[in-house]
Structure 1
Amino acid sequence: MGEAQFGVRHVIGAPVATTRLSEQALVCMPPRSAKFTLAEWKLSNDQKCRNTEDQQQLADRILGECQRVREETSERSEIMKATTDRRIEERIGDIEFNKKELQIQRKEICIELEALGVYKTRLLDCLSSLQSNALNICRKCLMLRDGRIGIDLVVDDVEHALQQEITTILGGQSLLKRVLEQLNEQMRRLRATRYLLDRDLQYKQAAIDLDKGSLSLKPTDLCLSIYEGYANLDPANISAEEYNVYSANNIKLAAKEVTSARPIRMFVDTLLKQVIDDLWVAYNKCNHAFSERIKETKIAKGKLEDMHRETTQKIIDMQNNILQLQKALSDKEGHVALAHTRLGRRAQRVGAELVRDPPGQALYYECEMLRHSTEQLQQMLHEATSSLRYLLQTQIQLEEDINVKMNTLKIDEVDCMTLRETMDYHAY
């Protein structure tokens, strides 16, 4: 075959002598097609017309079907959207109903916590008052009564009453502390239940907000997106029954805790009243013992004062008596000197005149009588002096006893009773 048949053309600008086959660009020309007949031409036109008509009919059917599908899917989408919206609204209503129930129970818990807080304050006030007021006063009264002196430092009914009152106060404190522990435990349980309700309410409010936000979305919103992940688009794994049971259990738990808290308040009221009544009984009993002891001490002090006045009068009488005895003795000295002088003078008689005559006998008896009288007066003076000394000692002892009673009265009537007037037991 020649060069024209293969369509070989030289590269422009390259020498012909140096052109090789590998450096030439070859273009293959297809062979000339065969010619068709007129019948074939008509048949081809008819076939194309029929194909075109068939495709147009198919297109018409597809257009109609597409219109129907569009309308059907649009209507189905609207129905499903309306159904979903209604379901979401119903769900929001259910959640809001449960939320209201939880809020009611939470309010009850808050009210009960506030009430228990008041009762806790009452218990703490009562315990503080018993410790800082009543108990300290009773112990201080015992300490003050240890300041009694002498025979008045006795274990009497007042001391027993004070010890009994201290025992009553300590017993009341023990009871109040135990009920305070129960009250604190109940408040802790109420706070824990309130925490569970708060968390449940928070979750429910978040669910309501999400559902309301979902309900407000429209298909034309720009914030919409299509999920293209592989995980399940609905991760919910809690059934409706489990959800209802969970909410119902929270409501029941809250109601149970509130119901359990109310008897504690009644018990606190009863216990406070009982403790205060017992304290008042012990207080009145102790005050009665103080009154009786003060009355006895005053009676004893009055007797001692009467005896002291009588003893003082006796001392004055005895002192006057001693003076009179001393005066009598002084007077007797003159009579004795006179009698002795007369006997001495008569002893100077001489001779027969030195006779035992009646005057001499009288002088002798007078001297004996005067000696005996002097001895009697001296004996009485000695006894009077001893009696005066004993009376003075008795007077001093009576004064000491009176001072002891005065000290006791000051401790019991002034110090202790003044302190006890500050003791106040009330309902708290």
Structure 2
Amino acid sequence: MSAPVLVSSPPAPQSVPVGSLPAVSVQEAANTGQHSSSGLATAGFRTARYLLEEWQQGSYTAFYRAAADRDSSERARAQDKQLAAEAEARAQRSQADGTRKLGERLLDIHYWRSELARESGELAAETELLLQQRDRLERALDTSEIPLSIASDNLQCRERRQGAELVRDGVEVELLQEVELIRNIQELLKRTLEQTIQQIRMNRAAKETLEMDWSDKVEAYEIDDKNGRYNNQSTEIQFHPNSSKYEDNTTTPDSWAQFSHDNIYKAERERLASINLRSLIDNILQDTSQDMRTQCGAVDHAFAKRCEEVEDARNKLEMHLKKTLGEIGDQENNIAFLKQAIKDKEAPMKVAQTRLYQRSYRPNVELCRDPVQFRLISEVGELTDSIEVLKLRLENAEQCLINLEDTRMSLEKDIVNKANSLFIDREKCMTHRTRYPVIMKLSGYQ
């Protein structure tokens, strides 16, 4: 705001002392006195309007007025020069102060612009690392389908076991636990993946806010830098009468700095959340992969143990089958022996019964119960008892042979079932489990 211009009013004309001028009467001034030239003697001549004293008085007055006007003009010129010099100095000071303020403002803008660029770069780098973790989660989730498929296939294969081999053994328990573990891990990985995708969106939103703020500050920096280069000799300057006013949407320096500070704070908060999430992902992938490999080892150990048990049982069954087959042969020989023994008793029975029959034809008193008769009857009884005993033994032997045949069939069936179980567990399941992914692949690495 320019200082008020002080303009001196011209000084009043100086009054002439009364004693320095000749006194003039009213009649003389009016040219009507006794020395007036208005008489007949002056007829034909022009009558004077002023007296000499009046003329001198008028000259003196003009002299004094001219002197006073010159003094007033000189004082006004001096004041004008001083005012112009002060205005020029004030304008130069204001312009220099404005240029200095622009420089300070440029430093502030540069500081916040640098902070925004730094935080934006760090957030971009952090987002890139989080994207890598997201890819690891996706690969780990895809890889988890392999052990789930292996475990499910093992359970389906073991459903084809026959007879008593279709048992809920330790292998099945471990396989069911493995399936449940993998499904729980997949749910955890899916939730973590969704959280990671949401964090990436938030990181990108915060980065976009930083970039918009940074872009505004770059534009403001260019404008103020251009303004700071203007001087009185610049060719681009011109009048803008309506520019010296405050806009309705302007901010204060404090709110301006607070805006960038809040943006950086939010970005740092998202970046820290992203860092914590990456650490959590690392722990989750490490723990889940270790858990799956541990459970895989437990299943493999259960398979190996079960195969040993089944193989041992099969070997014992084969041994019993071999003994049973031997016993079957011996029992068949025993049955043949018993049959022959029974057959061998037919001739003595015929002899004894023939003797008794023939002696029944003895005449009269000769039909005596003599010792011979008692002995022959006793002999027939003994032979009958022997045959009955041999027949019972033959029945028992035949029943034992039937039992042995059933046992043989059962043993052979059990051996076949155990061989089938061994084939399923060892050749199908355990061979398939060799495709189980390693820890690095389960952790999401390529």
State the partner residue of 2:371: none
1:303 paired residue among 316, 320, 339: 316
Where 2:171 maps in the other structure, the secondary structure is: helix
Give the secondary structure class of the aligned counterpart of 1:174.
Answer: helix
Which structure 2 residues correspond to residues 225-304 of structure 1 after superposition, within 5 A?
225-229=238-242, 233-235=245-247, 237-304=250-317
Q: Distance in 1 between matches of 2:48 and 2:261?
A: 91
Q: Structure 1 counterpart of 2:102, which letter?
A: I
The Cα offsets for residues 231-290 of structure 1, whole Å up to 9 and x where unpaired, read as 754426211111122222222222233233333333333333333343344333322322
In the alignment, which residue of structure 2 is the partner of 1:125?
Answer: 139
Paired position in structure 2 for 1:422: 435
Q: CA deviation at 1:370?
A: 11
Residue 403 (structure 1) aligns with: 416
Stretches of structure 1 that go unaligned for 5 or more consecutive residues are 1-34, 347-364
Match of 2:96 among 82, 91, 95: 82
Distance 2:101 2:327 in 1: 117
What corresponds to 2:219 in structure 1? Answer: 206
Bigger shift: residues 206-215 or 52-61: 52-61
Alignment of 1:160-239 (within 5 A): 160-229=173-242, 233-235=245-247, 237-239=250-252
**CA 395–227 in structure 1, closer or farther in 2 if over 3 Å, else same:** same
Q: What is residue 96 of structure 1 aligned with on the other side?
A: 110
Q: Does 1:109 align with 2:123?
A: yes
8 Å Cα contact 1:279/1:425 also seen in 2: no
User: Residues 250 and 36 from structure 1, CA distance in 2 versus in 1: closer, same or farther, beyond 3 angstroms?
Assistant: farther
After superposition, the C-alpha distances for 1:295-349 in whole angstroms (9 at most, x for unaligned) are 211111111111222233344455666778899999999x89xx9xxx9xx9xxx
**In structure 2, do the counterparts of structure 1 residues 368 and 36 end up closer, same or farther at CA, with 3 Å as the change threshold?**
farther
User: Mind listing any 5+ residue stretches in structure 2 that lack a counterpart?
Assistant: 1-45, 359-377
TM-score in terms of structure 2 length: 0.68
**Equivalent residue, structure 2, for 1:145:** 158
Shift of 1:119: 2.4
Deviation at 1:369, TM superposition (A): 11
The alignment partner of 1:217 has SS state of: coil
Instruction: Give the drift of 1:210.
Output: 0.7
Question: Is the alpha carbon distance of 1:419 and 1:37 closer, same or farther for their aligned partners in structure 2, counting shifts above 3 Å?
Answer: farther
Shift of the alpha carbon at 1:159?
Answer: 1.6
Aligned sequence identity (%): 28
Task: Normalising by structure 1, report the TM-score.
Answer: 0.70
CA contact under 8 A between 2:161 and 2:417: conserved in structure 1?
Answer: yes
User: Is contact 2:290–2:439 with CA below 8 Å preserved after alignment?
Assistant: no
Q: How much has 1:102 moved relative to structure 2?
A: 1.7
Could you tell me how far apart the structure 1 residues matched to 2:259 and 2:395 are?
Answer: 111
State the Cα distance separating 1:219 from its structure 2 match.
Answer: 3.3
Cα shift at 1:206 = 0.8
- TM-superposed CA distance for 1:163, in Å, is 1.7
One-letter code aligned to 2:185: G
Give the Cα–Cα distance (whole angstroms) in 2 for the partners of residues 176 and 36 of structure 1: 130
Q: Distance in 2 between matches of 1:67 and 1:48?
A: 30
Letter in 2 for 1:108: E
> Which of 415, 426, 430 in structure 2 is aligned with 1:413?
426
User: What do you get for the CA RMSD once the two structures are aligned?
Assistant: 4.7
Distance 2:338 2:90 in 1: 148
Query: Which SS does the other structure have where 2:439 is aligned?
Result: coil
How far does residue 72 in structure 1 lie from its aligned partner after superposition? 4.2
Query: 5 Å matches for 1:385-400?
Result: 388=401, 390-400=403-413
- Aligned partners of 1:37 and 1:91: how far apart in 2? 81
CA distance in 1, matches of 2:73, 2:335: 166
Question: What residue number does 2:368 align with?
Answer: none
Paired residues of 1:112 and 1:261 also in contact (CA < 8 A): yes
Displacement of 1:393 in angstroms is 4.0
